[in-house]
A and B are shown apart, each in its own frame.
Chain A
Amino acid sequence: AQSVAQPEDQVNVAEGNPLTVKCTYSVSGNPYLFWYVQYPNRGLQFLLKYITGDNLVKGSYGFEAEFNKSQTSFHLKKPSALVSDSALYFCAVRDTTSGTYKYIFGTGTRLKVLA
């Protein structure tokens, strides 16, 4: 079965410092990987996705993610964190094996950027 894991429930980082939110995946076949962000009392918003090609994917709000096939990881990064980046971040993989086109989400990582 395809799955993603987010090993950290919470990540704290000082404003202006680089941030990393970790995600590892387990898939058979080529992975389709996504990052979403959720602000309080809001729905999830798409940040970026990896389908194929360049291992470094750029997305919204200055975020980027690095696809690493050998480590089966897809970590979310930003060079300089803002207080407004504080939110809940979800990694997701599209299930390509069951034929049902499902998206499987990780448990989420809460990012706190401290002023």
Chain B
Amino acid sequence: DAGVIQSPRHEVTEMGQEVTLRCKPISGHNSLFWYRQTMMRGLELLIYFNNNVPIDDSGMPEDRFSAKMPNASFSTLKIQPSEPRDSAVYFCASSLRRVRAGELFFGEGSRLTVL
């Protein structure tokens, strides 16, 4: 099994640039989560999709952040324009909604540095 695949693994960009992070969940999983990890704030849930539909985006920090899931096998998290405080590791995770308390499967993360 390929697991959750994220790209890019590392991204360095300048303030004001657009950043797009990509995620391919595990085949057959119907829930997808985007998390952000920083030293100061730990692991924060940004947005969660179920069957490609955004269910809860209350964790999205501001309008500069947007996420889409056009189909069951692909999701993007976009930051436009990026700011230095967006520097973090962004994780995508997927799970099988039908399983009661199914565990999350995480990707390896995308480390974003905004200069």
Q: Which residues of A contact B (CB under 8 A)?
A: 32, 34, 36, 41-46, 49, 51, 90, 94, 98, 100-108
Contact = CB atoms under 8 A, between A and B. Distances in A.
Contacts, number: 55
7 contacts: A36-B106, A46-B103, A46-B104, A49-B101, A100-B56, A101-B48, A102-B45
Given A46-B103, A101-B55, A102-B48, 10 more contacts: A32-B100, A32-B101, A42-B109, A43-B4, A44-B43, A49-B103, A90-B43, A98-B56, A101-B97, A103-B33
Interface of B: 4, 31, 33, 42-43, 45, 48, 50, 55-56, 91, 93, 97, 100-101, 103-109
A92 to B, nearest CB: 8
Contacts of B93: 43-44
Nearest to B10: A41
A51 B101 contact: yes
